[in-house]
Amino acid sequence: MRTTRCFCEKIETSEVIIRDAEAHHLIHVLRVETGTQVELFDGKGTVAQAIVEKAERKEVLLSVTEIVNHEPRMGARVVLAVSVAKGNRFDQIVTQCTELGVDHIAAVLFERTVKQAAGSATDRWKKLAVSAAKQSGRIFLPQITGPADLPQTLEQLKAEYPEGKIIYGGFSRETIPIGDVIGRFADTIAFVGPEGGLTESEQKLLQDAGAMEVKLTQTILRIETAALAFGLFLCLHRDSMKD
């Protein structure tokens, strides 16, 4: 039987009240009733088992029966720094990479990134990540940052993952097969540029930071396909490792 999961930002007491979108989903989509068992998660490592005590029109009261705290991953983290794509294509990246287990998704504005409408999409991306985490059974939500330009993103990621291996996709004669550069327990930061490609100055910036140009396939990939390919390869490699 499939577990009923619900996102809850604060799991601190023996009773939890769920409101707004999560309550609507529990009541009107999942049709929970008194006595239904629900798994709560806060996206930061806390998971709780709870029982529905009352389901009203706009809120659900749950009694928490067990709380477990999980430690975050401290090595072999997968970080994707991806060009913002027009339309809902970056939404697809957030959803699928959350399902795969990517730890950090950074939205990047490269020089050739197609300009987007004004306004931040960060709140929408977080909601998509929550939905994907509920479906896939993830305990930790991915960190989602940006949009920011390449120099700023590179500086921030190097500071956050100082031992991280930096790679980016390319097609020059210097490319290395991706399988030849991935370490066992190293954090990996993969940059996915826009479909117009990286400029010479952007390539130099990455190379000066120690980035290696890698090859995924013999074909040219769209932004969301390249991000998914990087995420799939890196997460499969990480999750197949033995301690």
CA distance 156 to 148: 10
Determine the structural domain holding residue 46 and report its residue range: 5-69
Say yes or no: 53 and 149 in one domain: no
CATH of residue 233:
3.40.1280.10
CA distance 91 to 43: 19
Q: Which of 26, 41, 69 is the last residue of a domain?
A: 69
Say yes or no: 28 and 137 in one domain: no
CATH of residue 30:
2.40.240.20
Neighbours of 69 (CB within 10 A): 11
Q: What is the pLDDT of residue 242?
A: 60
C-alpha angle 217-179-174 in degrees, rounded to nearest 5: 65
Q: Which of 18, 44, 69 is the last residue of a domain?
A: 69
Q: What is the pLDDT of residue 119?
A: 61
Say yes or no: 119 and 152 in one domain: yes
Say yes or no: 116 and 95 in one domain: yes
Neighbours of 12 (CB within 10 A): 12
Say yes or no: 35 and 87 in one domain: no
The residues, ordered by sequence, that sit 6+ positions from 117 with a Cβ below 8 Å of its Cβ are none
Say yes or no: 65 and 89 in one domain: no
Q: What is the pLDDT of residue 65?
A: 94
Q: What is the pLDDT of residue 63?
A: 93
DSSP 140: B
Say yes or no: 207 and 153 in one domain: yes
How many folded domains does the chain comprise?
A: 2
Strand 176-177 relative to strand 104-109: parallel, antiparallel, unpaired? unpaired
Q: What is the pLDDT of residue 232?
A: 95
- CA–CA distance from 156 to each of 7, 43, 92, 108, 193 (Å)? 28, 22, 24, 12, 17
pLDDT tens track, the chain, 243 positions: 578 899 998 898 888 999 888 888 898 888 888 889 999 999 999 999 999 998 887 889 999 999 999 999 888 999 999 999 888 899 999 999 999 999 999 999 999 998 776 567 888 999 999 999 999 999 999 999 999 999 999 999 999 999 999 999 887 887 888 888 877 678 999 999 998 899 999 999 999 999 999 988 888 899 999 999 999 999 999 988 765
Q: Which of 69, 94, 122 is the last residue of a domain?
A: 69
Say yes or no: 123 and 205 in one domain: yes
Structure tokens at 66: 């067990």
**C-alpha 229, offset from chain centre:** 14
Say yes or no: 87 and 189 in one domain: yes
The residues, ordered by sequence, that sit 6+ positions from 161 with a Cβ below 8 Å of its Cβ are 77, 79, 187, 189
